[in-house]
Chains A and B, each alone.
Chain A
Amino acid sequence: MSKLDLTRRGVIKSGAVAGAGLALPTIFTASSAAAYVNEPTGSTVTLGFNVPQTGPYADEGADELRAYMLAVEHLNGEGDGGMLNTFSSKALKGNGILGKKVEYVTGDTQTKPDAARASARSMIEKDGAVMITGGSSSGVAVAVQALCQEAGIIFMAGLTHSNDTTGKDKKANGFRHFFNSYMSGAALAPILADRYGKDRKAYHLTADYNWGYTTEEAVRTSTEAMGWETVAAVKTPLAQTDFSSYVAPVLNSGADVLVLNHYGGNMVNSLTSAVQFGLRAAQANGKNFEIVVPLYSRLMAKGAGKNVAGIFGSTNWHWSLENVAGARYAGTNAFVKSFGEKYGFPPSQAAHTTYCQTLLYADACERAGTFNPCGVGQALEGFEFDGLGNGPTLYRAEDHQCFKDVLVVKGNENPTSDFDLLEIVDVTPAAAVTYDASIFGGELGSCNPGA
């Protein structure tokens, strides 16, 4: 017995047309019976979790994976339900998505766009994943998002902070919950001006790649608007490990603030160098010298150890948010509790954003009544929700970017544990970090269901 399926792009297993027209080239582009790629036909639905498992961001990837597994548990009605209980939309019932049990496949992005795309393609072509999510760098997010657009799959971005993901390189099938460089700059500037004064001279060290550029620009623009002056901006190679030759000249440059537009290992090493060179204790222009790190994560803070003490930065979310800033951020404690009880330590911001993305996707499917990327996209566009730990949030239709409050944090001077390295200084309201969707260029295009 043989059955022939004529399909386009991927692994659709329905609509048999036995042996018809093998010789005709037109069959390759003929539309098949399925409405969209990887339509789940059985009792389960497969999600693809594509995170860095090897390479420098492996720990971040591991935390994302923990959050995904927790989200799957909660969607399938196991565990204590986490943020499902606080989520403002009540479409999810704990019976999977649209009654189908949630299953998942995992892959390794290696934090390389090529490897990430290979892994995502195998999830789409081999495992029949209907949604891809994850990643912990903007290069990977932009690459995988473009792939998902082409293949007709929804992409729910993980940790990606560059403006490009929902700016220049935005795609109709891609959605981002995490905040971006622009928001970091806009959230930090008023608080920096308030703490350090409006008469400051900043020296930027910027990682020499796309994310570094957008972050430097965002911080520069918004601090200069507050009256700061930028003395210099020096680009540092991404592969740099010892930043001493970049940090050493800062003290005599006339600057009194150092902004480190670095992430991951770059940030840990440059901050360590800056502290070694005595910048924290130094005086310049009659003021205390200050260091600013626009994007903070708890894992980075852990790597830099006590060097982070007193240093300002911004973050998407922190586990102590609800305790510090009140019930507006409901959901935080529920999530921390279920994550902490399962794994023994509090979740990172990467874990939080990926958990939220999974829930948001599942909820959108429920509300749309389909897994069709076009329906899901419509349900997410302009969606306003609350109870996922960040307060009231909008998924903006124009660029598929979430708008929510941004946390300004600083390194804890006296941490009580490894998880207590950051303390929340202030929360900048969403309105203050919202920008016009057109300023970064790019086009969403139209949604692609793939079939």
Chain B
Amino acid sequence: MLGLNKKDTSLLVAVALLVALAPIILNPFPEGSALAQFNAGYPDLMQRFVIFGIFAVGFNILFGLTGYLSFGHAAFLGAGSYAGVWMLKLLTINVIPAILISTVVAGLFSILIGYISLRRSGIYFSILTLAFAQMSFALAASVLTPITGGETGLQTALDDPRILDGANTTGNIPAPSLFGMEMSDSLQVNVAGWLWTFNVGYYLAGVILLIAFYVAIRIFRSPFGLMLRAIKSNQQRLTYTGLNTRPYMLACFVISGMYAGLAGGLMVAMDPLAGAERMQWTASGEVVLMTILGGIGTLIGPVLGAGLIKYFENIFSKINSNLLHEWFAFLPDGLEDFVVAIIYPFIGKGWHLTLGLMFMAVIIFLPGGLVELGQKIARKMSGKSDDKQTKSTE
């Protein structure tokens, strides 16, 4: 189907099903139950899952295929976001131009940075990309304030021109929409205590994720993808065969940058604000972590990694001592306080600690990331002895 082999088709179909049913899958606990805290099926988080999924899939095209570790990918996400908000301000509140232009702008920006950074390889390449991204961040937060809004970020305003839209008479800033359907509109279904929210913005981002994922599969399976893998395994040999690898690398870098810009454009389409800290090196580091946690070089891994990190950030940080006391209220008083005291450093304001421990655990025990975990479980389930296969993957 669509030029894919059977295995890839079933992967794409599986991802499509996951995306389509996410509002149901991510809300496993009934509304009002104690565990409802762990539900992730609300629009904002679901949107973040798919948007960061796109970002990580794009990053993986560069890092997973060529082994070039960019530490400045957030700069493209940021550039895309700014371009997107400017489109929402100047052109129209319809999100289509914003998403398209942000992808294009990020692409142009990555041509510039890629052209220079790709003159070096290894850690020198990483530091060059890091330097460009940090420069973009520093300038966006300070001297470029008229264009970027500085530290408070760039937002839509009442008096924006929006030349394609009619005059705004509501007294409120219009919300980003797709031909009249606002991104924040949702359909809620309440089934026997479970509450499912089907959100317009989420499904728009989800469809785009599927397209992005499909394109990524095609790239992985194409002769171009093969060439990139060849660069990863031995660039020197390729050069000696008389092949100029630079154009391939640049094309790959730009594609990856455009994925980041697309993610940036989607972010502002869901929530029209672009802040400078989106470009900071920690944001670039985050996408590296997502990719590695999920499984470098695998197709589905980066999406899973993105989901895991965003889940932690949004769910664990919201648990407070009050909630803990409610959960463990069934225990005797002394024991309750003790259990809460043990758990408390790891949740709420301590969620960074849990995240750090998780990184370490995954890297130490699961070098292949979540995908490896999945493979291990699958092998256990099918009852095969996994000695040989583990060796061959290492």
Contacts and interface: CB of A to CB of B under 8 A. Distances in A.
A220 B138 CA distance: 25
A272 B157 CA distance: 40
A125 interface: yes
A209 B141 contact: yes
A12 B184 CA distance: 13
A58 interface: yes
Nearest to A443: B158
Nearest to B44: A121
A117 B43 CA distance: 13
Contacts of A11: 42, 188, 195, 197
A16 B143 CA distance: 52
Nearest to A9: B184
A164 B348 contact: no
A235 B142 CA distance: 9
B351 A108 contact: yes
Given A6-B187, A10-B186, A239-B138, A28 B318 contact: no
B172 A28 contact: no
A252 interface: no
Contact of A105 (B159, B172, B313, B318): B318
Interface stretch (A74-82, A91-99, A138-146, A298-306): A138-146
Contacts of B195: 11, 13
A3 B171 CA distance: 34
B142 A237 contact: yes
Given A108-B318, A146-B273, A139 B186 contact: no
Nearest to B170: A446
B188 A13 contact: yes
Nearest to B41: A126
Interface in A124-180: 125-126, 137-139, 142-143, 146-147, 149-151, 162, 164, 169
B89 interface: no
Nearest to A54: B352
Given A54-B349, A443-B158, A25 B42 contact: no
Identify the interface centre among B153, B171, B189, B271: most chain A CB within 10 Å of its CB.
B153
Given A126-B42, A139-B151, A209-B142, A2 B191 contact: yes
A445 B158 contact: yes
A192 interface: no
Nearest to A120: B44
Interface residues on A, range: 35 or more
Interface string B359-371: 0000000000000
Interface string A345-367: 00000000000000000000000
B313 A9 contact: no
A53 B190 contact: no
Contacts of B11: none
A86 interface: no
A114 interface: yes
Nearest to A121: B44
Interface residues of B, number: 54
A114 B47 CA distance: 13
B190 A8 contact: no
Contact of B190 (A4, A126, A146, A239): A4
Contact of B152 (A4, A117, A138): A138
Interface string B124-165: 000000000000001001110100001111010111000000
Contacts of B348: 53, 106, 108
A318 to B, nearest CB: 26
A239 B322 CA distance: 35
Nearest to B156: A146
A114 B318 CA distance: 16
A8 B182 contact: yes
Interface in A209-266: 209-211, 213, 235, 237-239
Contact of B275 (A122, A125, A139, A238): A139
B277 A28 contact: no
B317 A53 contact: yes
Interface string A94-123: 000000000011111000111101110110
A137 B150 CA distance: 13
Contacts of A114: 273, 275, 277-278
Contact of B349 (A53, A115, A238): A53
Interface in A32-70: 53-54, 58, 61-62, 69
Interface in A424-451: 443, 445-446, 448
Given A8-B186, A445-B158, A142 B153 contact: yes
B173 interface: yes
A211 B314 contact: no
Contact of A113 (B42, B152, B182): B152
A209 B43 CA distance: 32
B31 to A, nearest CB: 8
B159 A238 contact: no
A125 B44 contact: yes
Contacts of A27: 187
Contacts of B351: 54, 108
A420 interface: no
Contacts of B182: 8-9, 28-29
Contacts of A118: 44-45, 48, 313-314
18 contacts: A4-B187, A9-B182, A9-B186, A54-B351, A105-B320, A106-B320, A108-B348, A113-B275, A114-B277, A119-B314, A126-B42, A126-B44, A138-B152, A139-B153, A150-B184, A210-B152, A237-B142, A443-B159
- 8 closest A-B pairs by beta carbon, nearest first, are A446-B171, A53-B349, A121-B44, A209-B151, A208-B142, A108-B317, A28-B185, A113-B275
Given A6-B187, A143-B275, A445-B158, 6 more contacts: A2-B189, A28-B182, A118-B48, A164-B152, A169-B152, A210-B151
